[in-house]
Amino acid sequence: MSGPRGAQNTYLLVPILLMAVLLSTAVIRGPSLVSLSGFGSAIIVAAPLVLATYSLMALAIAGRGTVDLAVGPLLAFINVTIVKLNGLDLVTSPLAVFVLALGIGVIYQVLFALIIIFVRVQPIIVALSGFLALSGINLVILPRPGGVAPEWMAAWGLGNTIFSPVLLIVLVATAGWVLFTFTSFYANLRMMGYDERAAFTSGVRINLVRIGAHVLAGLFVGLGAICYTALIASGDPTQGTTMTLTSVTALVLGGVSLSGGRGSVAGSLLGALNLFLIGYVLATFNFGAVQAFVTQFFYGLILVLSLLLTLLVPVIGRYVFFISPFSAFIVLGCIVAGIMLHVSTAGSFAPAPAGEQASAAASDLLKRYLLLPPSEPAGGGGLLTLTPLQQTLIGLAAAAALFTFTLRMMVAEALSARVGAFLYVFVSALILLLLFVVAEQSHAASSVGHSDVLGAVP
Amino acid sequence: MSDASPYRGPGSLSNIPRSPFLIWLNLALTLIVAAIGFGLGFAQGLRAQIVILYTVISTAVLFWLLNYVAVIFESRQFGEPREAAPGVLPVTAVRSVWAGNRILIVAMAALLIAYLVILASVPEFRTVSNLLAFLLVEAILVFAFKVSRAFAHRRSAFIGLIVLVALIVISSFTIEGFLSAANIRAVLLFASFLGIACVGQTLVALLGGLDLSIPFVIGASNIGLLYLIGLGVPPWLALLMVLVIGGAIGFLNGVLSYRLQGQALIVTLGTGFATAGLVQILTSIGSAFSGNVFGTVPGWLQNLAAMNGRTFGLAIPPTIILWIVIAIVVIVGLRYSAYGRYIYALGGNRRSARLTGVSEFKYWTLAYTISGVFAAVTGSLLLGWSGGGFIGVGDQYLFTTLAAVVIGGTSLMGGHGGYGYTVIGVLVLQVLSAFLIGIGLKYEWQQFIFGLLILPMVALYGRAAHIRSQV
């Protein structure tokens, strides 16, 4: 096509852009997101959706238009089974619960795969059949929401810390998929999804590959169900349909091709997070009684719009091939992180007293964003010697240099197939810094008792 | 059927074995079973006429069944029926019978085992009517397997009809008052709601698409109509507006999904979701009870769909008549009009149809528009039936419309099937549902059974070719 290899990821540009916009809006509208408990609960709420989307992704890549509509009911099925067995004191230990959840997910998905392979019915019909059967049996197992999750899970759902076991599960799942993409099995999977006949004629054992994809999907669903159980700390047989709809939307939003062969864990993660943020942003606008309807309306609208956007992906790829999605992610990430830092720290610093404004502002800035003790302003040195005009000029020059640098980097990155190590380090450092600042803020708020001043940070 | 022919095909229905020994053996077996049934009937304290009637019917059916089995064995020169010690038969012959009737034998044996197990475990089950129902189902099985070979072309419709008959037979024996006028009317009424909602789904499926926005449009038109009536719009005008809006949503579905035909399912799900949300927002504005719409449903609309509605003085709800008319129009239209033929042409082979000058876009959007209109019709009729607006009224139609189309035998890949098949599918679903309610199963079990039912129904005729033969 247009030559540069970087264009293969172009479909990620849309979710990244949306993510930046949504995250900024979310932080500005509801600043409580930027705090330990804010992030913690966000991770716990988003985790089941993320994992369900991964499960759908694994199946969608396998091709034949496999959209497992039963993913929500399956998740709910595992959830109510865990709760029910826990109530009967049969399965309580962590190991047993994990084995149970993953086992149910894998067995169901392998059955799914075997039916597709040997009965040769369209996957969508199998999914439909599973949807009906599972939603029915869920209500039989647990007629109404209730029950108690295993005791050791109780602390998981509190969401007062970022590094909860739920985050670990999500990270392990993500890392697992990333490692999986390095295997030749993954190459076969993508090939089968893209063109099953070609894969078959070139000697790929497609039945085996398909079963493998379903096993992965089953594992993801099982993990998702555990996160979901931790989130609601009880059993709920009724949320299956909603979970299916949102995870399918997240899948499409993340740029995974429903016709098979294209998709990535980054896209799915972004899609699921975007969907969570949409819900969050909508919740900050107080619509009162029609809140649920507005959310429903926007979910539907976004689903349709993101599907239409997938039509534009080739066009975008043709004209914007020189922008690497990952670099765009970093640049936008910096901006959003800046906004987050500003919002989260703005409240904790009272306006500096007049008089020593400039130096106070400078020290404020230093202290606020870099957490450095402000150096004592030395008499006439530093910024104060410059005239305002000079300051403006220097500032503009610095901005221009930074802008040029990032632009050059984006273009350069776009031409390489894989993201350099530098970027990974940079992103991790950025995220760590953000988390550190937020943690500091939260601790400061709780220990000193600034909560009246902060308002933003609980 | 002359006795001159040495071999009688498995399809022949009048079966009398040539050997007198077999006839007498069958007669003896039949009479023994009938006597058991007779005794059971009186032990149960039924009325004498009913016992005699049941005994006669069961004797006739059993005799026919045994003779049928005997003839199959005899025509393959076994000399003995199945009941008489099969161990002495030559091994090759057994194998050939097994190969020829594998599924049938397995199915009959499974049914027999199930019957015996239930008989042994549940004392209340030991009644004449259950025995009779069991024998009838076995007879239907034999009939279905032996005759369906003659219907290679319309196999799905045939299987659907057989299942329908079997369901009706079983239900009428196990459920008191299943064949009463009131129950038949109720089943037909719900079938007409589902059937009208399925018109669009069938057309869209014939083109190779899917429309999942139907339940949302049903719910939205349901509350939308009541809202408009509550605003003071004349009911007929409100109905017209709702139908037009439904059509507009369908048109939007068609336009949006035209370029995304592989993902029509997801597109329509999205538009449906957005529609339901938007209509709820609009109807909630200025209302203290958001999500609830209040109003009075006009009398003619209630009469149209209520259970006690009357058509020109007849005690049949007009909706049933409406459904019949719609079904005839759609079936005839699909079969004889150019529009219907072009739909089949496009569903069968997109490319050739386009090369012969059929506008794909036009028919695709038209099918979706029709789907939207009929979903709105269903929503409005359901308003008349229930008398109050409720957004969730269409929820169960999300998958039942699909299930009815699939069970009837319309291929979701497009090009095969028709509305007649869907009618059969709708009736099967409704009778099954009535049966499950009748034997006391709750809604969730019904859903479970529906889910499990779809797979084997589709597997019977909707299987794709092996990848080896597609290369």
Q: Write out chain B's pLDDT in tens, 471 residues.
A: 334 444 444 444 556 667 777 777 788 888 888 888 777 777 776 777 777 787 888 888 888 877 777 776 666 554 444 444 445 555 666 677 676 677 777 888 888 888 888 877 777 766 777 777 778 777 777 776 766 665 555 666 777 777 788 888 778 877 777 778 888 888 899 999 999 999 999 999 888 888 889 999 999 998 888 888 888 888 888 889 999 999 999 999 999 888 877 778 888 888 988 898 888 888 877 665 655 677 777 777 777 777 776 666 677 788 888 999 999 999 999 888 888 888 888 888 888 888 888 888 899 999 999 999 999 999 998 888 887 778 778 878 887 888 888 888 787 777 788 888 899 889 988 888 888 888 888 888 888 888 887 787 777 666 666 777 766
Please tell me the distance from the alpha carbon of residue B64 to that of residue B101, in angstroms, as a whole number.
18
CB contact under 8 A, B277 and A289: no
CB contact under 8 A, A136 and B447: yes
When mean pLDDT is compared across A6-10, A256-260, A302-306, B360-364, the lowest value belongs to A6-10
Query: In 3-state terms, what secondary structure has residue A22?
Result: helix
Q: Which of A282, A290, A305, A313 to mutate to test the interface with B (most CBs of B within 10 A)?
A: A290
- Which pair of structure tokens corresponds to residue A119? 């009965």
- All residues of chain B having their beta carbon less than 8 Å from the beta carbon of residue A293 are 276-278, 280-281, 284, 290-291
Residue B82 pLDDT: 47
**Assessment of whether the complete model's pTM goes beyond 0.80:** no
Distance of CA B399 to the CA centre of its chain: 13
A207-259: per-residue pLDDT in tens? 899 999 999 999 999 999 999 998 888 888 888 888 888 888 888 888 787 77
Average pLDDT, chain A: 77
Cβ within 8 Å of residue A204, ≥6 positions away: A188, A191, A192
Please tell me the distance from the alpha carbon of residue B278 to that of residue B272, in angstroms, as a whole number.
10
> Is residue A235 a contact partner of residue A82, using CB atoms and an 8 Å limit?
yes
Residue with token string 């005008």: B237
Helix A325-346, helix A421-444: angle, nearest 10? 10
DSSP letter string, A324-373: -HHHHHHHHHHHHHHHHHHHHHHTTSPPPPSSSHHHHHHHHHIIIII-PP
Could you tell me if residue B375 is left (phi over 0), alpha (psi between -120 and 50 degrees) or otherwise beta? Answer: alpha
Give the torsion sign (CA, B430, B436, B438, B442): negative
Return phi, psi of residue A146, to 5°: 170, -165
Neighbours of A1 (CB within 10 A): 9
Across the range A194-213, mean pLDDT stands at 88
Please tell me the distance from the alpha carbon of residue B225 to that of residue B247, in angstroms, as a whole number.
14
Q: Which amino acid is it at A358?
A: A
Residue B68 burial by Cβ neighbours in a 10 Å radius (0-12, 13-18, 19+): buried
Taking only Cα atoms into account, the Rg of chain B, rounded to an integer number of angstroms, comes to 26
When mean pLDDT is compared across A166-175, A309-318, B366-375, the lowest value belongs to A309-318
Q: Which of B281, B400, B413 to mutate to test the interface with A (most CBs of A within 10 A)?
A: B281
Distance from CA of A37 to the nearest CA of B (A): 31
Q: Which residue of A has its CA nearest to B454?
A: A129
Q: Count of CB contacts below 8 A, A vs B? A: 174
Q: Which of A53, A114, A132, A282 to mutate to test the interface with B (most CBs of B within 10 A)?
A: A132
Distance of CA A17 to the CA centre of its chain: 14
CB contact under 8 A, B455 and A298: no
Distance from CA of B442 to the nearest CA of A (A): 9
Query: In 3-state terms, what secondary structure has residue A453?
Result: helix
**A374-to-A360, A364, A378 alpha-carbon distances in Å:** 9, 8, 11
Residue B454 pLDDT: 78
Please tell me the distance from the alpha carbon of residue A451 to that of residue A455, in angstroms, as a whole number.
6
Please tell me the distance from the alpha carbon of residue B119 to that of residue B130, in angstroms, as a whole number.
9
- All residues of chain A having their beta carbon less than 8 Å from the beta carbon of residue B447 are 132-133, 135-136, 139
Neighbours of B251 (CB within 10 A): 18
Of A330 and B273, the one with more pLDDT: B273
Highest mean pLDDT among A282-291, A326-335, B276-285, B293-302: B276-285
Tell whether the model's pLDDT for residue A128 goes beyond 60.
yes
- All residues of chain A having their beta carbon less than 8 Å from the beta carbon of residue B274 are 296-301, 303-304
- Closest by CA to A62, choosing from A105, A112, A104, A106, is A112
Q: Out of B210, B273, B443, whose CB is closest to A299? A: B273
Distance from CA of B444 to the nearest CA of A (A): 4
> Is residue A31 a contact partner of residue A204, using CB atoms and an 8 Å limit?
no
- All residues of chain B having their beta carbon less than 8 Å from the beta carbon of residue A245 are 269, 273
Of A55 and A30, the one with more pLDDT: A55
Query: In 3-state terms, what secondary structure has residue B126?
Result: coil
CB contact under 8 A, A136 and B463: no
Q: Which amino acid is it at A97?
A: V
Residue B386 burial by Cβ neighbours in a 10 Å radius (0-12, 13-18, 19+): middle
CB contact under 8 A, A288 and B290: yes
ipTM of the complex: 0.71
Please tell me the distance from the alpha carbon of residue A67 to that of residue A52, in angstroms, as a whole number.
12
Please tell me the distance from the alpha carbon of residue A196 to that of residue A261, in angstroms, as a whole number.
10
Distance from CA of A416 to the nearest CA of B (A): 31
When mean pLDDT is compared across A103-112, A271-280, B287-296, the lowest value belongs to B287-296
Give the torsion sign (CA, B185, B186, B187, B192): positive
**A207-to-A110, A258, A262, B224, B358 alpha-carbon distances in Å:** 11, 20, 19, 49, 38
**Residue A261 has what DSSP assignment?**
S
Give the torsion sign (CA, B63, B65, B66, B72): positive
Distance of CA B22 to the CA centre of its chain: 39
Neighbours of A344 (CB within 10 A): 27
- Closest by CA to A231, choosing from A167, A294, A135, is A167
Neighbours of B50 (CB within 10 A): 13
Q: Which amino acid is it at A337?
A: A
- Closest by CA to A418, choosing from A132, A121, A178, is A178
Across the range A269-275, mean pLDDT stands at 88
Please tell me the distance from the alpha carbon of residue B459 to that of residue A118, in angstroms, as a whole number.
10
Tell whether the model's pLDDT for residue A85 goes beyond 50.
yes
Residue with token string 């709910």: A76
Residue A429 pLDDT: 73
> Is residue A320 a contact partner of residue A16, using CB atoms and an 8 Å limit?
no
CB contact under 8 A, A140 and B448: yes
Q: Out of A196, A201, A245, whose CB is closest to B273? A: A245
Partner residues linked to B314 by β-bridges? B311
Query: In 3-state terms, what secondary structure has residue B413?
Result: coil
Q: Which amino acid is it at B288?
A: A
Residue B284 pLDDT: 78
Please tell me the distance from the alpha carbon of residue B405 to that of residue B423, in angstroms, as a whole number.
8
Return phi, psi of residue B311, to 5°: -110, 110
- All residues of chain A having their beta carbon less than 8 Å from the beta carbon of residue B450 are 132-133, 136
Please tell me the distance from the alpha carbon of residue A333 to that of residue A20, in angstroms, as a whole number.
7
Alpha helices by DSSP H, B337-396: 338-348, 350-355, 360-386
Residue B182 pLDDT: 83
Of A443 and A64, the one with more pLDDT: A64
Residue B369 pLDDT: 94
Q: Quote the strand ranges of A280-338, DSSP E.
A: none
Please tell me the distance from the alpha carbon of residue A412 to that of residue B5, in angstroms, as a whole number.
87
Could you tell me if residue A390 is left (phi over 0), alpha (psi between -120 and 50 degrees) or otherwise beta? Answer: alpha
Please tell me the distance from the alpha carbon of residue B239 to that of residue B226, in angstroms, as a whole number.
9
CB contact under 8 A, B462 and A122: yes
Q: Which of A64, A246, A259, A293 to mutate to test the interface with B (most CBs of B within 10 A)?
A: A293
Please tell me the distance from the alpha carbon of residue B287 to that of residue B225, in angstroms, as a whole number.
16
Distance from CA of A251 to the nearest CA of B (A): 11
Please tell me the distance from the alpha carbon of residue A80 to that of residue A229, in angstroms, as a whole number.
8
Buried-exposed string B280-290: b where 16+ CB fall within 10 A, e elsewhere = bbebbeeeeeb
Q: Out of A65, A126, A140, whose CB is closest to B262? A: A65
Q: Which residue of B has its CA nearest to A133?
A: B448
Q: How long, in residues, is chain B? A: 471
- Which pair of structure tokens corresponds to residue A123? 């996957």
Please tell me the distance from the alpha carbon of residue B154 to that of residue A355, in angstroms, as a whole number.
92
Distance from CA of A40 to the nearest CA of B (A): 30
Please tell me the distance from the alpha carbon of residue B399 to that of residue B211, in angstroms, as a whole number.
10
